[in-house]
Structure 1
Amino acid sequence: MSAPVEVYVYDLSKGVASQLSLQLTGKQIDGVWHTSVVVFGKEIFYGQGICEAEPGRSHHGSPLRVINMGETSIDEQTFVEYLDQIKEHYTADKYHLLDFNCNSFTNDCLGFLTGGSLPSYIKDLPSDFLSTPFGAALRPTIDAMFKGRASNGVLTPPPDLPNTTDPANSALTSSLLQAVAASATSNNSGSPSSSRNYLPTPAPTSPPTPVQGNSLTTPVHIATNPSSFHNVLRTHRAVVAFFTSATCGPCRMIEPVFEELAKSKSRANDVAFVKIDLSVGMSSAVGGEYGVRVTPTFILFLDGNKTHEMKGINAPELRTQVDLLLYQAFPPHPHTALSLPAIEAIPLNAILFSQVPNLDVVLTKVTEFIDAAPSWSGSATKEATKQILAKNIIPYLKARGSSLPPNISFEPWRDATISLAANLSAGQLFPVADLWRVGLLQPAVCGWSATKLGPESPILVLLSKAEDAPRNYTVTLLKMISNAFANKVIARELLLSSRSSITTLMVASLLHDDATVRLAAASLTFNMAAHLQRLRVEKVRGNAEGDDVSENEDWDLEMTTALLEGLEREKANEEIVHRLTASLGLLIRLSPSIEQLTSLLEVLQAQKILKDKLEKGGCGDAGVVKKEVRKLIEEVATKLCP
């Protein structure tokens, strides 16, 4: 008779991750997920070993959500025997918050019971977290908490957090991390029915599997049945499988090499290193499927297909074969073989517009516009809006943030901006955009803005007024967004949520009659291209930060077309030509859409457009004059354009 299978999902952070993740990591992480499998009237999970409780009565309380995983045809006794087989594998001392946790156990059980797996948003959480600079910096701290932990599950207190952590958030991060880790590994319960370790160990009839004394601290997947292994093959481009056994001496010799490769070569959602202990659970069935008869055996897979098998403890050969697999799975970009000294010499720092206007004059101008408005709507009244400007925004900008409390609230700024945008025309809003342009030069304003990039974000509210705006507003808005791109968190979120709106503004501005508007648009274009270039370089190097790049083939093609049209039309301003050429070079250099771009560049005669800038009349009477600009134009034209 079949039995229903459910997954209970809990948030170990109790909602804190959803509130603070964007501020701390630059990514929205909705929860620190703990899962358990519910079947045969029991809730079973991994923490202090394999534990059991009545459904919803563990120390985690009521689940945040329940996922229906279908039914299992496995009977309860067979499942109990399976848990008994793997209990020496899922011991308290092996638990690791990132690499070997409750979700690893739940996923294994689901594979055994139903052939299914956890949703990707749960399985991929560690990779998502580690792909952020904050997560990568915090990784050693998390490892230190779990390394060498005793079998009673006592955690090492977190050491000092890395220097990359904002001091204002250090105490919060440390206490949150300790609380999450303690909750994850505890099996205490405040409910009437306590959790207990699953199945008292019977008297062994054969020698027990040795328990490792150290916790797993590398991104190694564990598979104890065919279903869980097949799921890894389905969800990763490249897979390295390590078939081992508890009694294999050579396996223990080569295992550190395998773990070092897993740590250095793993890429989020692309590469998996899987350990399959043939003495655990149904792992022998996985070995039998691929004809594994001796340990250690390594089998490499590309797109689910076996590409290579090696036996024994030849570490150099293992490293070579892993590198070859990754080369086949992720061939290097063709432009990485080119010598591009002029492009490589381009500083990738954002172009900033840092001039501070006379703030009293700005205040007077905005106040006049407010008083002249025939009607007023919104949550902030006319008087309230003027008070926010006079008592909050202007003093803060005058002081450059130095003489006001560090915990100053920026919420009134947002409210005032929303009211101003709702009641004033774009031509009257340019001083407001200018205030935000100056404000975005301050780290505190950028930090707050990075967490508020929803529909009511001041940046997006002001951007929504861009269509058919007069020159003064357009140029100020371009400069404001350029300054915003100096913050990589804001830059990423703007590319994800508002790429189309920004591109529409930018493309129209590149063709504007006014040179000041064109220069501001060229600056914003460069900042966007530089942001993508930094991430693409990290991706080529195999660094986790590069996984954050937001690629869009259509955007690459649209921007290339706009840049070439802008270059062709620009006959007077050499600085605009410089910024547009640099943007074009950065955009083409490591674009994943290189085949499509190459065809487009040829059709649009990109090489001719660039070389014309070097000739008389191409840009000024004599053409481009500055040597470094000429060198850059020649390099982009001859090496990147067909």
Structure 2
Amino acid sequence: MSEPVKLYVYDLSNGMAKQMSLQLTGRQIDGIWHTSIVVFGKEIFYGQGINVTAPGQSHHGNPLHIVDLGTTAIDEETFNEYLEEMREHYTADKLAHRCSGSDFNCNSFTNDCAAFLTGGSIPDFIQDLPSDFLSTPFGAALRPTIDAMYRRPSRTMPSPLSRPAATPSSASPNPDLAASILQAVADQAQQGRLPTIPSPSTTPLQATESLVAPFHSVTNSASLQTLLRTHRAVVVNFSDLITCPPCRVIAPVYEQLALDKGVKTSSGVGAAFAKIDLSTLPGKTLGAEWSVRVMPTFMFFLDGKKISEMKGADANELRSQIDLLLFQAYPPHLHASLSLPAMQTLSLTPILFIQVPSLDTAANKLASFVDSTQWPANTSQSRDEVKHVLFKTILPYLKSRSNTPPSSANSILLSSWAKITSTLAEALPLESLFPLVDLWRLALLDSSVSTWCAAGLQSAPKTIPITVFLSKVTSSAANAPRAYLLTLLRLLSNAFSSRVLAPQLLLGQIRASMTAVLVPTLLHKDASVRTAAASLVFNAAAFLQKGRVEAVRNGGSGKKDIEDEDWEVEMTSAVVEAIDREKMNEDVVHRLTACLGCLLRFSPFYESQMSSLLEVLQARLILKGKLVKGGCGENGVSKKDIRKLIEEIAEKLCP
């Protein structure tokens, strides 16, 4: 009689990964998954060894997802014998939840169980986590939450296996926790306290002792086939650390290569590294299936097909084989071989507007607008309440930023400020809002404010001032008051000072709203507005370029999730047109040209879209036209460094 097999899926990050991974790593990670198998009325999972509990009664609480894996014809007694056999492999000392690895062993365990019971595997989205994710500041900030899931005491069952204590859990992200984690990440990044991997010379690599390394642990054929199917490049190590001295010698080298060349959150480029333990019966079975007769044996797979094999513990040859595999899987971008000295020396630091106005003058002007405006009857806050928050809370905070060290804004202050911002945006005419926008422009230079905004854009985007201000002009930016446009563009430029807020401007609706303002202002009749717009579009393109350069350094030109082909084509067209029309302001031409270079260099869409677009737009002729008389100023661009940049992009990036 067949028995149903279910997979219970839990998110160890309690929703934090889904909420914040994209903005902090450039890659969407929907969860840090813990899984268990439910069959024969029991929930079985790997934690402190192999554990058994009643379904839904583990210390992880209720599962986030329940996946139907089909049915099994294997009887319960045979499955219990299999579990006892697997205890040799999945022991408590091999728990991998605290490593910075690409696969948590709980998922290897459930995948092996699924293969044994049904011949299938657990879903692809669960099996792989980029190998450097927990080594990022965001991953490091999540470590305490993840570790806590595995430090809770367990109770003993009258069984050879153990039952963990049951406690409720939630997969709903907490906005305050999100803000605190974002702040912690921002603080780590600013102070340079990023997590580091211990050096083999000072700390023994864990691969010499257990499976707590950045590896996929494989114990049956179905698990291996799934791994080959879901990764372009795979390296498999068949070894026995107990009886094979060469295996022990090469183990720390293999682990370090897995750390260095595993799948990266910054690019999605890298290989999956697997270990097959030939000291166990399942490992021996797999070894026989692949005709392994020498230990260690390394096999290299590209797109599911074995392309080479290496026997023995030659560290240099292993490195060469892995580098060759990655080169074949992820050939370098065609721009990687170009000599672009002007682009390479171009600073990608965002252009910021940091000048501090007379805060008393700005606040008094805003208050005068409040007093002179007919106040809507349905407004939740009175004039006096708005002015009280402005003068008693916001103004003292902004003045305190000049202290050493500067004061930080707390969530209560910011929530109060955001509330009166929404009120004023409804009550005041557009031409009277620019002092309020300018105060927020200054505040966004404070990491606590930008971090709060980043968290808010995830949980309640309509209440965040950036969204409120953009919504006022998205349909008519070309006709908006000059002062409002100028302060808004400067505010958006300053948002790129934050590594946690910047990605939010390039996602979804907020990107669409920003673009609706940006495109017409690049052609605005006012030179100051054009300069601010050119600064903003450069900041956006420079942010993309940073990610691309990092991806290339990690071994490929991997497409980040934040890249968007349609948006980048639109921006490229708008920037080329703006360069063509700019006849007087050399600084604007400089910023726009630098922006164009960032949009093009290492673009994942260069061959498919950008190259032909540039030909249609005649981008090369337009750029060269800036260098001749009348192209920009009386005699064309005069500064040598700007001329070099224009010539380089025209000749080498524009067909």
TM-score normalized by structure 2?
A: 0.83
| The one of 626, 629, 632 aligned to 1:613 | 626
Amino acid at match of 1:252: R
Amino acid at match of 1:432: L
| The one of 601, 620, 636 aligned to 1:589 | 601
Q: Would you say the 8 A contact 2:9–2:36 is kept in 1?
A: yes
Change (3 A) 1:323 1:17: closer
Distance in 1 separating the partners of 2:65 and 2:454 = 29
Q: How does 1:154-233 map to 2 (within 5 A)?
A: 177=143, 180-184=146-150, 186=152, 188-189=154-155, 194=157, 197-198=160-161, 214-233=209-228
1:479 is aligned to 2:507: no
Q: How does 1:204-283 map to 2 (within 5 A)?
A: 214-245=209-240, 247-268=243-264, 270=269, 271-280=271-280, 282-283=282-283
- 1:586-631 superposed Cα distances (whole Å, 9 cap, x missing partner): 2211111121212222222211111111101000111111111111
SS at match of 2:539: helix
SS at match of 1:581: helix
Amino acid at match of 2:216: H
1:417 is aligned to 2:421: yes
**Which residue of structure 1 aligns with residue 177 of structure 2?**
none
Query: How well do the aligned residues superpose, as a CA RMSD in angstroms?
Result: 3.1
- 1:549-604 superposed Cα distances (whole Å, 9 cap, x missing partner): 62122222221111111111000100000101111112211111121212222222
Q: Would you say the 8 A contact 1:132–1:545 is kept in 2?
A: no
1:459 is aligned to 2:466: yes
Distance in 1 separating the partners of 2:556 and 2:94 = 25
Q: How does 1:329-340 map to 2 (within 5 A)?
A: 329-340=329-340
More relative contact order, 1 or 2 (CA 8 Å, 6+ apart): 2
Amino acid at match of 2:374: A
Q: How does 1:275-424 map to 2 (within 5 A)?
A: 275-280=275-280, 282-284=282-284, 286-371=286-371, 372-377=373-378, 379-400=380-401, 402=403, 407=410, 409=412, 410-424=414-428
Distance in 2 separating the partners of 1:105 and 1:82 = 12
SS at match of 1:551: coil
Amino acid at match of 2:78: T
Distance in 2 separating the partners of 1:239 and 1:40 = 34
**Structure 1 range deviating more: 627-636 or 304-313:** 304-313
Q: Would you say the 8 A contact 1:130–1:544 is kept in 2?
A: no
Amino acid at match of 1:608: L
Change (3 A) 1:241 1:612: same
SS at match of 1:431: helix
Change (3 A) 1:401 1:95: farther
Change (3 A) 1:121 1:464: farther
**Which residue of structure 2 aligns with residue 150 of structure 1?**
none
Distance in 1 separating the partners of 2:593 and 2:451 = 31
**Structure 1 range deviating more: 420-429 or 374-383:** 374-383
Q: Would you say the 8 A contact 1:93–1:213 is kept in 2?
A: no
Q: Would you say the 8 A contact 1:7–1:38 is kept in 2?
A: yes
Change (3 A) 1:197 1:495: farther
**Structure 1 range deviating more: 386-395 or 339-348:** 386-395
Q: Would you say the 8 A contact 1:52–1:197 is kept in 2?
A: no
Distance in 2 separating the partners of 1:499 and 1:610 = 27
Q: Would you say the 8 A contact 1:377–1:419 is kept in 2?
A: no
- 1:63-88 superposed Cα distances (whole Å, 9 cap, x missing partner): 45533333223322332232222211
| The one of 525, 533, 537 aligned to 2:537 | 525
Distance in 2 separating the partners of 1:24 and 1:347 = 21
SS at match of 2:273: strand
Change (3 A) 1:128 1:44: same
1:81 is aligned to 2:81: yes
- 1:180-216 superposed Cα distances (whole Å, 9 cap, x missing partner): 4254155514xxx84865399xxxxxxxxxx997343
Q: Would you say the 8 A contact 1:239–1:301 is kept in 2?
A: yes
Amino acid at match of 1:263: L
| The one of 565, 568, 583 aligned to 2:577 | 565
**Which residue of structure 2 aligns with residue 630 of structure 1?**
643
**Which residue of structure 1 aligns with residue 52 of structure 2?**
52
SS at match of 1:592: coil
Distance in 1 separating the partners of 2:374 and 2:558 = 48
1:492 is aligned to 2:503: yes
Amino acid at match of 1:435: L
**Structure 1 range deviating more: 631-640 or 93-102:** 93-102
SS at match of 1:452: helix
Q: Would you say the 8 A contact 2:330–2:555 is kept in 1?
A: no
Q: Would you say the 8 A contact 2:211–2:217 is kept in 1?
A: no
**Which residue of structure 2 aligns with residue 142 of structure 1?**
none
Q: Would you say the 8 A contact 2:597–2:653 is kept in 1?
A: yes
SS at match of 1:360: helix
Change (3 A) 1:293 1:543: closer
Mark the runs of 5 or more structure 2 residues left unpaired by the alignment. 164-205
**Structure 1 range deviating more: 578-587 or 120-129:** 120-129
SS at match of 2:357: coil
**Which residue of structure 2 aligns with residue 149 of structure 1?**
none
Change (3 A) 1:484 1:67: same
1:35 is aligned to 2:30: no
Distance in 1 separating the partners of 2:223 and 2:209 = 24
Change (3 A) 1:280 1:93: same
Amino acid at match of 1:88: E
- 1:457-491 superposed Cα distances (whole Å, 9 cap, x missing partner): 21112111123122221111111000001112111
1:534 is aligned to 2:529: no
Q: Would you say the 8 A contact 2:28–2:561 is kept in 1?
A: no
Mark the runs of 5 or more structure 1 residues left unpaired by the alignment. 139-172, 201-210
**Which residue of structure 1 aligns with residue 105 of structure 2?**
101
TM-score normalized by structure 1?
A: 0.84
SS at match of 1:601: helix
**Structure 1 range deviating more: 106-115 or 224-233:** 106-115
Q: Would you say the 8 A contact 2:12–2:34 is kept in 1?
A: yes
SS at match of 1:354: coil
Amino acid at match of 2:417: W
Change (3 A) 1:485 1:184: same
Amino acid at match of 1:259: E
How far residue 121 of structure 1 moved from its aligned partner, in angstroms, is 5.5
Distance in 2 separating the partners of 1:42 and 1:14 = 24
How far residue 383 of structure 1 moved from its aligned partner, in angstroms, is 3.2
Q: Would you say the 8 A contact 2:7–2:38 is kept in 1?
A: yes
Change (3 A) 1:45 1:258: same
How far residue 289 of structure 1 moved from its aligned partner, in angstroms, is 4.7
Amino acid at match of 2:482: R
**Structure 1 range deviating more: 583-592 or 262-271:** 262-271
| The one of 578, 592, 606 aligned to 2:590 | 578
SS at match of 1:90: coil
Distance in 2 separating the partners of 1:333 and 1:197 = 55
| The one of 509, 519, 543 aligned to 1:507 | 519
Distance in 2 separating the partners of 1:195 and 1:585 = 67
Aligned residue pairs, count: 591
Distance in 2 separating the partners of 1:258 and 1:504 = 50
Identity %: 54
Change (3 A) 1:449 1:119: farther
Distance in 2 separating the partners of 1:448 and 1:212 = 40
